[in-house]
Structure 1
Amino acid sequence: MSDLGLDQKSISRLIGILLLGIIFNTYLYGLVSWQFLIYHTTKFNDPWRVRAVVGTLFVLDTLHSAVAVYAAWDMCVTNFGNPAVILTVSWEIPFTAVATSCAAIITQFFLAHRVLRLTKSWIITGFICLLSLAGFVFGVVAGVRSGIIQDVSKFSVLAPLVTCWLGFQTAADLSITLALTVALWRSRTGIRKTNTILNRLIRGAVQTGLFASIFALGDLFGFLLHRDTNLYAMFAYPIGRIYTNTLLDTLNSRITLQNISQSAVDFDTEVRLSTFICIT
């Protein structure tokens, strides 16, 4: 360790932080599996494209979580006693960037479709999709470039790509949250039952973008300000699971919403609720 200028504190800061991220990612994968099981057993009458999106994200999350566990094994077992391993990145980090970008664009496009149905605005939806697509492109490029460079000490050249990737990704999340919140807020009425349903939907809309944005910004600032640690990787690994949990929670929440909305509401709000609950 001393030959590489790495003391015990440095090792803990590099490997320990990474393990925390992988452990939390594994926990979130458990939630994804539970949500997927609920979706599968509930037998929603969803079109094939929705089921394909859910299946694709679950397979992607399973693969990525397996890669994360392998990364922990490779660093802590296979390369035990070889601290030089933390000075370079192998294929797991580039794969994480690409897999996260894929999960983000799938979820964001799905939610953008919901924004379109609620707002009837192609301009707002197109803006969200443009932000999402830009984040996806920069994320894939950043992942590929990191795999080519490998040397962590040279990662400063990736800063513009990572900034654009996570910046556009966060902007898309917040735009979706804002659009859904405003559309649902405008549907509020004086009927208590209706407002209860809408408040629940608004809370879900806020949570949709909040958690993903927090982790994306943590990833960004960790990379820009503490590149000598694995702080960025601690935030990077779980982001994909947050997106999948967001989408599955949105789909599974229809069970509760349909039960609550059995009482009569005014016609305009009923139309909006049906638009939010139904998937076509």
Structure 2
Amino acid sequence: MGAYDLVIGVLLLGLFFNTYLYGLVTYQFIVYRNTTFNDPFWIKSVVGALFILDTVHSAVAVYAGWELCVTNYDNPASLAVVSWTIPFTAVATSCAAIVTQLFLGHRVLILTKNKILTGLIGLLSLLGFIFGVYAGIYSGILREVSKFAPLNPFVTCWLTFQTSADLIITFVLSFVLSRSKTGFRRTDTILNRLIRGAVQTGLFVSIFALGDLFSFLLHRNTNLYAMFAYPMGRIYTNTLLDTLNARIAIKNMNNTTVEISSEGNTFRMQNQSQTLATTSVHSIQVQKEVVTDAVEDRDAKYAGDDGYPSRV
């Protein structure tokens, strides 16, 4: 390995991956803005604030690469100190984490009606935010990498509390959604989609948080921790946007046409859903006779406006 592989190389990998994830965030944000959702103003404000935060943080990440590889190209001594971009990353990631976790914690409250469990998630998220902001500011004050030893307990508390909140949210959502299955194939397909998304996003961000923690504690003389730290905020934003945009898949599943041929008679059922969770119109055609009946779709009643079942 080269002399700077674990100092500059791993950091650049983190910046490249962060840029890729920011592209996904931008795509999901455009999809959200171009889709008609009857979301309250506070949800739209949360989405807009996270997108602005991600945009600023991604620009800072690009500047960090420029500062490291261009401005200090012939200055190896600069590697002994951290610039303001590292403290900013810790603070920005903590902000993205608490916003996403509180949003998903609100979904947990809706599904479980368990205020104690929701309070635990909120407490862990708040503690993670406080320690994350403190660790970021403290690292900016210390600056010299050789003096980072006092940061160990604060970074450990930050990422431990943050990861604990993520894992609890993932477990609770997966458990509750699994118990909400109705036996209807279309509804169960929607629930499986939501469960898979909860597990993937929760597991993904937990891996990055633990990678950040252990690389910071065990590989202090490298920038390996930065490879995990920079993309973490984008993972949180992608988690929130994926949760919201999952309702598009639910809407598409409700706009399906099924044709069944039985004993020489052709049956055609058309299901046209007008909203994400409202009354649907069914049209059943048997040969030349047409019977139209307006009823409440049995599957649609299980899907709330936020993409999760409204009945557990």
| Residues 93/218 of structure 1: CA separation in 2 closer, same or farther (3 Å cut) | same
Residues 197 and 261 of structure 1 are in contact (CA less than 8 Å); yes or no, is this contact kept in structure 2?
no
Aligned counterparts of 1:178 and 1:258: Cα–Cα separation in 2: 26
Q: Structure 2 matches for 1:93-172, cutoff 5 A?
A: 93-172=86-165
The one-letter amino acid paired with 2:304 is: S
Aligned counterparts of 1:84 and 1:257: Cα–Cα separation in 2: 55
Aligned counterparts of 1:30 and 1:203: Cα–Cα separation in 2: 22
Query: Which whole-Å deviations, capped at 9, do the CAs of 1:226-251 have from their partners, x for residues lacking one?
Result: 11110000000000000001111111
Aligned counterparts of 1:191 and 1:40: Cα–Cα separation in 2: 31
Report whether the alignment pairs 1:274 with 2:304: yes
> What SS class does the counterpart of residue 205 from structure 1 fall into?
helix
Aligned counterparts of 1:119 and 1:276: Cα–Cα separation in 2: 15
Deviation at 1:271, TM superposition (A): 4.8
Counterpart selection for 2:19 from 22, 26, 45: 26
Deviation at 1:198, TM superposition (A): 1.4
Aligned counterparts of 2:252 and 2:36: Cα–Cα separation in 1: 16
Deviation at 1:100, TM superposition (A): 0.1
- The residue that corresponds to 2:252 in the other structure is 259
Specify every segment of 5 or more residues in structure 1 that has no aligned partner in the other structure, as ranges. Answer: 1-7
Deviation at 1:205, TM superposition (A): 1.4
- The residue that corresponds to 2:50 in the other structure is 57
Runs of 4+ in 1 over 3 A off after TM superposition: 261-267, 269-272
Aligned counterparts of 2:203 and 2:191: Cα–Cα separation in 1: 18
> What SS class does the counterpart of residue 234 from structure 1 fall into?
helix
The one-letter amino acid paired with 2:56 is: L
Residues 11 and 83 of structure 1 are in contact (CA less than 8 Å); yes or no, is this contact kept in structure 2?
no
The one-letter amino acid paired with 1:58 is: F
Aligned counterparts of 1:253 and 1:159: Cα–Cα separation in 2: 38
- The residue that corresponds to 1:13 in the other structure is 6
* Greater helix share, structure number: 1
Deviation at 1:43, TM superposition (A): 2.9
- The residue that corresponds to 2:288 in the other structure is none
What number of residue pairs does the alignment pair up?
272
Aligned counterparts of 1:121 and 1:230: Cα–Cα separation in 2: 41
Aligned counterparts of 1:261 and 1:173: Cα–Cα separation in 2: 31
Deviation at 1:176, TM superposition (A): 0.4
Residues 46 and 279 of structure 1 are in contact (CA less than 8 Å); yes or no, is this contact kept in structure 2?
no
Aligned counterparts of 1:146 and 1:124: Cα–Cα separation in 2: 33
Q: Structure 2 matches for 1:41-52, cutoff 5 A?
A: 41-52=34-45
Query: Which whole-Å deviations, capped at 9, do the CAs of 1:82-135 have from their partners, x for residues lacking one?
Result: 011111001100000000000000000000001111111111111101100000
- The residue that corresponds to 1:77 in the other structure is 70
- The residue that corresponds to 1:4 in the other structure is none
TM-score (norm 2): 0.83
Deviation at 1:201, TM superposition (A): 1.3
> What SS class does the counterpart of residue 303 from structure 2 fall into?
helix
- Worse-superposed segment, 258-267 or 107-116: 258-267
Which one scores higher on RCO, CA 8 angstroms, separation ≥ 6? 1
Q: What is the root-mean-square deviation in Å for CA atoms of aligned residues?
A: 2.0
If you compute each CA radius of gyration, which structure gives the higher value, 1 or 2? 2
Deviation at 1:10, TM superposition (A): 3.0
Aligned counterparts of 2:81 and 2:309: Cα–Cα separation in 1: 45
Residues 209 and 228 of structure 2 are in contact (CA less than 8 Å); yes or no, is this contact kept in structure 1?
yes
Deviation at 1:259, TM superposition (A): 2.4
Q: Identical aligned pairs, as a percentage?
A: 65
- The residue that corresponds to 2:193 in the other structure is 200
- Worse-superposed segment, 17-26 or 39-48: 39-48
- The residue that corresponds to 2:264 in the other structure is none
Aligned counterparts of 1:279 and 1:47: Cα–Cα separation in 2: 18
Aligned counterparts of 1:169 and 1:231: Cα–Cα separation in 2: 19
Query: Which whole-Å deviations, capped at 9, do the CAs of 1:44-87 have from their partners, x for residues lacking one?
Result: 22111011000000000000000000010011101111011111
- The residue that corresponds to 2:215 in the other structure is 222
Aligned counterparts of 2:198 and 2:297: Cα–Cα separation in 1: 22
Counterpart selection for 1:180 from 154, 173, 177: 173
Aligned counterparts of 1:279 and 1:79: Cα–Cα separation in 2: 53
